Amino acid sequence: MLTRTLSWTAKEPGCKVTVANETDAELVQACLAGRREAFDAIVERHQRHVYQLCYRFAGNHEDANDLAQDVFIRAYRGLRTFKGQASLGTWLYRIGVNVCLNKVSGKARNEALDPLIAASDERTASTHESVADALLRGERAAQVRAAIAKLPKKQRATLVLRVYHDLPHDQIAGILGSSVGAVKANFFHALNNLKKLLT
């Protein structure tokens, strides 16, 4: 079942925390008080998830890298507007979705269509997998990415947050400024459209 709340582990690569044991809210307060290393800790704690979100929209590492950096820069500049009503992770997702929806262009769609790019990106493939299997998998992944890139913005954002970030519907509703019912309807239509695009 796809339900969990945002409680990211600090044990993964990209999640090394240098300001030990401080909560996100404490890190925000420390940053606003002028402790620059507190923002470093925020970045280190959340960069993997922000990058992955951006990759889902951009479809390639270079653009995902630029988008993720943009998300953190905007977050830093707007840190005073973070009131702690949602978690910092949810707030960063909200910024990320807005940045991605506004900046990702047709370029990402075209790249997502290219099976060679997709195959070369599939670095997680098992070393025992044959080249033919890897290409086939890369081609299928390219088709799915291209289909997702063609979805309407809110459907795409809903699908990405639900399927790849495992967020509960109410949290997605908070990020997208929708109701839970609208999120579920969007998710259903996204899956329906995806099915049509893949057949």
Partner 1 sequence: MSHLSSAEFVDAAEGVLPPARTAHLQSCAACRDRIDEVTAALHAAAGVDVPEPSPLYWAHMAARIREQVAGETPREESWWQVPAVRRLVPFASAAAIVAAVVVTGIMSRGRHASAPLESAPVVAVVPADPAVQPDDSEAWQMLTSAADETPIEDVHAAGMGVSAGAVDRAVLRMTPEEVNALGQLLQKELRRSGA
| Residues near partner 1 (CB under 8 A), total | 57
Does 155 engage in binding with partner 1 (CB under 8 A)? no
| Type of residue found at 31 | C
Contact residue for partner 1 among 145, 157, 173, 175 (CB under 8 A) = 145
Q: C-beta of 107: minimal distance to partner 1 in Å?
A: 18
113 binds partner 1 (CB under 8 A): no
> Contact between 91 and partner 1 (CB under 8 A)?
no
Q: Which of 29, 40, 134, 135 binds partner 1 (CB under 8 A)?
A: 40
- CB of 156 closer than 8 Å to CB of 58: no
Phi and psi dihedrals of 139, rounded to 5?
-65, -40
Round the CA-based radius of gyration of the chain to a whole number and report it: 18
> Which of residues 6, 47, 115, 155 is near partner 1 by CB under 8 A?
47
To partner 1, the closest distance from the beta carbon of 163 in angstroms equals 5
CA distance 170 to 174: 6
Q: How far is the CB of 130 from partner 1 (least distance, A)?
A: 18
Of the pair 39, 91, the CB lying nearest partner 1 is at: 39
Q: Do 142 and 114 contact (CB within 8 A), yes or no?
A: yes
Residue 114 and residue 143 in contact, taking contact as beta carbons nearer than 8 Å: no
Taking the complex as a whole, the smallest distance from the CB of residue 144 to partner 1 amounts, in Å, to 5
Contacts of 43 (CB under 8 A, 6+ apart): 72
